[in-house]
């Protein structure tokens, strides 16, 4: 998502880099092309106009026009304005001084409210906050059953009633959380295929009855500008405090991410990046701006790494590399850990400069990764630890067992041996890791 916008902006900045100085006509040309790029990304028209006006105002300053690196100056301006456009700093959830804290999820039907109620509950649980999920969507078939299934998966309670009164269910759910001493309540409200007065009145009554600390609007990023228009209506009636943008891993143009804060004043707090329950991430405007402009996103990559890999595991792996004891078993373990972090093509894009260096059509086929896993799993323990014993008959057996060709086994073994030799050569030249990295702290 937003990849096309990044490519358009990169092309604009590439042309600027060949110019020694900027003129005002150059700035006007850049502003026009940036506006077109934003509109093609499905950014709201008024938001695009305001954004371009701010960029243009800053870009015609004396420092930029006289700069010997005008492209870098304009990139910095565009980066700053993109971050501001998406709300500036990351916005955290607010919690009540007196529990339970009530979070109310609102949005249209099909936006992913029920699923993201479960995702949010899991995220809070991982932070040490137990939640009660309240099934207040009494209209959509199986919505209550779906929420109860999600609750079982993450081992959290779900409050449900046979009543068809969502107001009573929401009120009783909050009372139940108080009785049980559960500090957080997440209310899954009903949606409609489109906004109607009956829905809004119902949500207003639930808000008045439960006093939510946060009203989170769940928006489908695939709907583009329409998500922004719907968010404005919900904000006008309910006063939303934040946004959960779903399906950010899709291939839509993604203009909602760049428009919704400017239109509503409600910051995007989380983004859904996959179908699985852990696939909910805090939204960082600065990191998304960096990725749009091809600067990578090292902090997110570090966080993903730390979520699946401990410092102790890293030290153990380093020791194996230095002693040349790294085996195909270890390689398989690394492969599985990396897959937990998400699609490898997306991980590559987080590394600064690498996405620009790779060809445009570059993509890691996940089937290739599965093929490597199948090959290693078809080996015996002895073969994984000593690939040098893989003679022709063993390789034919492995190929047959993994559904691959002998050439695939030959290629994997050769690449593995080359990697192991490289690690051995680099072992004596490695720099000493800084203490912060070894601690695995947030800034490492």
4: pLDDT strictly greater than 90:
no
pLDDT, average across residues 57-66: 69
- pLDDT value of residue 33: 86
Cα–Cα–Cα angle for 352, 357, 362, rounded to 5 degrees: 105
Alpha-carbon radius of gyration of the chain:
26
DSSP state of 381: H
Per-residue pLDDT tens over the stretch 91-143 = 889 999 988 999 999 998 888 899 999 999 999 999 999 999 999 999 988 89
Cα–Cα–Cα angle for 84, 85, 87, rounded to 5 degrees: 65
Q: Which residues pair with 159 in a beta bridge?
A: 134
**Of all residues in the chain, what percent carry a pLDDT higher than 70?**
76
431: pLDDT strictly greater than 50:
no
Neighbours of 84 (CB within 10 A): 15
Phi, psi of 265 (to 5 degrees): 80, 0
Q: Alpha carbon of 95 to those of 101, 120, 123, 212: distances in Å?
A: 6, 14, 15, 10
User: Would you kindly state where each structural domain of the chain is located, as residue ranges?
Assistant: 3-85, 101-286, 299-439
Q: In this structure, are residues 213 and 102 in contact, taking their beta carbons and an 8 Å threshold?
A: yes
Under the banding of pLDDT at 50, 70 and 90, the label for residue 330 is: confident
Q: Which two tokens stand for residue 217?
A: 């609007």
Start-to-end CA distance of the chain, whole Å, equals 28
Q: In this structure, are residues 32 and 48 in contact, taking their beta carbons and an 8 Å threshold?
A: no
Dihedral sign, Cα of residue 381, residue 385, residue 391, residue 392: positive
Higher-confidence residue of 178 and 275: namely: 178
207: pLDDT strictly greater than 90:
yes
pLDDT, average across residues 319-345: 71
Q: Which residues pair with 106 in a beta bridge?
A: 217
- Buried (b) or exposed (e) across 106-122, using 16+ Cβ within 10 A? bbbeebbbbbbbbbbbb
- Which helix (H) or strand (E) is 243 found in, with range? strand 242-246
d(CA 254, CA 247): 10
Domain 101-286 matches domain 299-439 at the CATH topology level:
no
- pLDDT value of residue 216: 95
Under the banding of pLDDT at 50, 70 and 90, the label for residue 433 is: very low
- pLDDT value of residue 258: 83
Per-residue pLDDT tens over the stretch 365-421 = 667 778 888 999 999 988 888 888 999 999 999 999 989 999 989 988 888 887 777
- pLDDT value of residue 435: 43
Q: What homologous superfamily does CATH list for 3-85?
A: SRP54, nucleotide-binding domain (1.20.120.140)
- pLDDT value of residue 66: 59
d(CA 240, CA 237): 9
Least confident piece of the model among 183-197, 240-254, 327-341, 349-363: 349-363
pLDDT, average across residues 425-434: 49
19: pLDDT strictly greater than 90:
no
CATH of 101-286, one of 3.90.930.12, 3.90.1530.10, 3.40.50.300, 3.40.50.1580: 3.40.50.300
Under the banding of pLDDT at 50, 70 and 90, the label for residue 443 is: very low
Per-residue pLDDT tens over the stretch 225-269 = 778 888 898 999 999 999 998 887 665 566 777 888 888 899 999
Q: How many helices (H) and strands (E) does the chain have?
A: 22, 8
CATH of domain 299-439: 1.10.260.30
Least confident piece of the model among 148-162, 226-240, 246-260, 282-296: 246-260
pLDDT, average across residues 183-210: 91
- pLDDT value of residue 436: 41
Under the banding of pLDDT at 50, 70 and 90, the label for residue 439 is: very low
Mean per-residue pLDDT over the chain, rounded: 80
């Amino acid at each position: 998502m937003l990849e096309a916008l990044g490519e358009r902006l990169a092309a604009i900045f590439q042309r600027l880099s060949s110019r020694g100085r900027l003129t005002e006509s150059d700035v006007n040309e850049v502003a026009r092309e940036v506006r077109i790029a934003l509109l093609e990304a499905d950014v709201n028209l008024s938001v695009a106009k305001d954004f371009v006006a701010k960029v243009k105002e800053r870009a015609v300053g004396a420092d930029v026009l006289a700069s010997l690196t005008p492209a870098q100056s304009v990139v910095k301006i565009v980066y700053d304005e993109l971050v501001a456009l998406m709300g500036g700093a990351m916005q955290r959830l607010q919690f009540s001084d007196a529990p339970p804290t009530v979070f109310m999820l609102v949005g249209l039907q099909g936006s992913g409210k029920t699923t993201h109620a479960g995702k949010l509950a899991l995220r809070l649980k991982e932070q040490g906050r137990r939640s009660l999920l309240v099934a207040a969507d009494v209209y959509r078939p199986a919505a209550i059953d779906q929420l109860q299934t999600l609750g079982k998966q993450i081992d959290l309670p779900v409050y449900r009633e046979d009543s068809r009164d969502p107001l009573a269910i929401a009120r009783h759910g909050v009372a139940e959380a108080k009785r049980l001493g559960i500090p957080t309540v997440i209310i899954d409200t009903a949606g409609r295929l489109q906004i109607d007065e009956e829905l809004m009145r119902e949500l207003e009554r639930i808000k008045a009855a439960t006093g939510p600390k946060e009203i989170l609007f769940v928006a489908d990023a695939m709907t583009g500008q329409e998500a922004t228009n719907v968010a404005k209506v919900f904000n006008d009636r309910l006063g939303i405090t934040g946004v959960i943008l779903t399906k950010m891993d899709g291939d839509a143009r993604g203009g909602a991410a760049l428009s919704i804060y400017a239109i509503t004043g409600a910051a995007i707090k989380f983004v859904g990046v996959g179908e699985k329950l852990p696939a909910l991430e805090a939204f960082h405007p600065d990191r998304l701006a960096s990725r749009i402009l091809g600067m990578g996103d090292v902090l997110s990559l570090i966080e993903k790494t730390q979520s699946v890999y401990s410092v102790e595991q890293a030290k153990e792996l380093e020791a194996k590399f230095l002693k040349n004891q790294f085996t195909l078993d270890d390689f398989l373990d690394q492969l599985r850990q990396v897959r937990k972090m998400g699609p490898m093509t997306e991980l590559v894009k987080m590394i600064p400069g690498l996405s620009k260096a790779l060809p445009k059509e570059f993509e890691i086929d996940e089937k290739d990764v599965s093929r490597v896993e199948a090959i290693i799993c078809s080996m015996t323990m002895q073969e994984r630890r000593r690939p040098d014993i893989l003679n022709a008959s063993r390789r034919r057996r492995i190929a047959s067992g993994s559904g691959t060709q002998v050439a695939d086994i030959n290629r994997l073994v050769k690449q593995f041996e080359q990697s192991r030799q490289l690690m051995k050569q680099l072992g004596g030249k490695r720099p000493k890791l800084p203490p912060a990295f070894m601690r695995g702290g947030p800034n490492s």
